[in-house]
Amino acid sequence: MINKWWRENTVSAVIVTIIRLYLGYGFLTAGFHKITGGAFDASGFIGGAIKNPVMGPDGGMVFGGYVKFLESFALPNVGVFNVIVPWGEFLVGLGLILGCLTTAAAFFGMMMNFSFLMAGTVSHNPTDILMGFFIITAGYNAGKFGLDRYVMPYLRKVTNKGKDSHTHSAA
């Protein structure tokens, strides 16, 4: 019942629009400042997450697999991350603000939030993850007051071209 309300109700669409505008502004400005503020370098952040991983009460690493990923892939390819982090933040913010590919933008925003969280940066990431969850739960309704209202029907039409719309029954 609550899921149906999030996905179909106009009041929930208004609530989710406010959430996505707020969240989108945070991502857009963070990405914009990284893009325009000079050379962004993630190596310090990645190195810090490797040197000081999130530790559990028993003294063991909580996200050991993530630290291995940072050591073996992210740090050696930091140049790629120096591009995808600022542009990813900017594009996620733009998608959320415009309501264009909203659930995809929320998904990739949550991926970044989880990455920052597993690297030990609590900050506002848990709150952002919760807001992203509401946006994804709302689905198409999250972009009802945005470009998704026009983009999604077009994408459905284009991706279904050439598919047989008739159902065949076995006789």
Please state, as a whole number, how many other Cβ atoms lie within 10 Å of the Cβ of residue 137: 18
Domain count, the chain: 1
pLDDT at 165: 54
- Residue 166 resides in a domain: no
pTM: predicted TM-score of the whole model, two decimal places = 0.88
Q: Which domain holds residue 13?
A: 2-159
pLDDT one-digit tens code per residue, 36-57: 998 899 999 999 999 999 999 9
The amino acid present at 28, given as its one-letter code, is: L
- Residue 60 resides in a domain: yes
Mean confidence (pLDDT) of the chain:
93
- Residue 164 resides in a domain: no
pLDDT at 160: 86
| Contact between residue 142 and residue 106 where contact means Cβ atoms under 8 Å apart | yes
Please state, as a whole number, how many other Cβ atoms lie within 10 Å of the Cβ of residue 122: 9
- Residue 70 resides in a domain: yes
DSSP 146: S
- Residue 167 resides in a domain: no
pLDDT one-digit tens code per residue, 100-147: 999 999 999 999 999 999 999 999 999 999 999 999 999 999 999 999
Angle between helices 10-36 and 125-138 (to 10 degrees): 130
- Residue 168 resides in a domain: no
- DSSP state string for 52-105: S--B-TTSSBSSHHHHHHIIIIITTTHHHHHHHHHHHHHHHHHHHHHTSSHHHH
- Residue 170 resides in a domain: no
Buried b (16+ CB within 10 A) or exposed e, 65-97: ebbeebeeebbeebeebbeebbebbbbbbbbbb
Q: What are the φ and ψ backbone dihedral angles of 61, each rounded to 5 degrees?
A: -65, 135
52-to-30, 40, 55, 87, 119 alpha-carbon distances in Å: 24, 21, 8, 26, 9
- Residue 84 resides in a domain: yes
Q: What's the CA gap between 32 and 132, in Å, rounded?
A: 20
